[in-house]
Structure 1
């Protein structure tokens, strides 16, 4: 398993996936992270202050190559979301609601998942999804993730308990799917 270069850039037909640039990415990511619709199923409430977003971006920038592989999603020259691994093996993603339903997250996740298996030597990727997030559940199914189990009261977000559906994708299943 090798460490990825810190300047990794992945280009897809519509996106540039790149490492976070906290100052440059602040406006776009604060727009997403402070949006109640975007954050409806996230593990924290919408950001109430610019400092929360600055801290979030700093934490993303501080992720070391061995612990995760996380990318800013750049669309038409601006930061519109993130996708990847803050910590292996847990995958996560968020995108501006104005771009929902266009297949951009799936487009981003294919090379990110491939990197996790091929470059980082992961044998299994996991995802934790709020059961109310039907779009994310459909997306994971399309990518070959299988539900492993469910749990109640897994996240306390803004005083409300939320449940989780756990999904997994193995290296073998990914190879079979993409062969």
Structure 2
């Protein structure tokens, strides 16, 4: 499976993505808002990557390539919840929004799902802005939903309907 955007290629994960994804998942800046602490070893990332690959090429979860280099991942490890992570060297350039939008287009174009969700840390203002730019609306809040590295995190919940996405694409 492969999706092309103006600047990116989103594709199914492969075993040879290990070192590039480890560079992302071992970076404390990238994983500050992730569901696990930074990966300590290549083996830890290999386990993570193996599970992504095991979901199969039909799962709408993609590694993100820019100019042939893997810079992160975006998509739906488990529908309907979107997730994304980029190496910090690629932040602030619109790549996450471009990749997530392409993932959303793909899901609404190929799946019988009418609503997507996102769970974001209330302190992750960049991710909140990205979701809201894409049309996600806040649907709830919960305290102490994730324990990451011994620290409890809260959650803001967001949702995006197929109808709202379609309406935004027409304007």
Structure 1 stretches of 4+ moved >3 Å: none
Length-normalised TM-score, structure 1: 0.92
Would you say 1:19 and 2:19 are equivalent positions?
A: no
Contact 1:83 / 1:91 at 8 angstroms: preserved in 2?
Answer: yes
State the partner residue of 1:97. 88
Would you say 1:61 and 2:53 are equivalent positions?
A: yes
User: Which of 129, 133, 137 is the aligned partner of 2:124?
Assistant: 133
Counterpart-to-counterpart distance in 2, 1:106 and 1:38: 16
Contact 2:12 / 2:57 at 8 angstroms: preserved in 1?
Answer: no
Would you say 1:157 and 2:148 are equivalent positions?
A: yes
Length-normalised TM-score, structure 2: 0.96
State the partner residue of 2:103. 112
State the partner residue of 2:26. 34
Identify, as 1 or 2, the structure richer in helix.
2
- CA deviation digits over 1:73-122, x for unaligned, max 9? 01121111000000000100000101101000111112210111120121
Counterpart-to-counterpart distance in 1, 2:55 and 2:81: 13
Counterpart-to-counterpart distance in 1, 2:163 and 2:104: 12
Would you say 1:170 and 2:170 are equivalent positions?
A: no
Contact 1:123 / 1:170 at 8 angstroms: preserved in 2?
Answer: yes
Aligned residue pairs: how many? 170
The CA RMSD measured in Å over matched residues stands at 1.0
Counterpart-to-counterpart distance in 2, 1:162 and 1:112: 26
Structure 2 gaps, min length 5: none
Counterpart-to-counterpart distance in 1, 2:108 and 2:142: 27
Structure 1 gaps, min length 5: 1-7
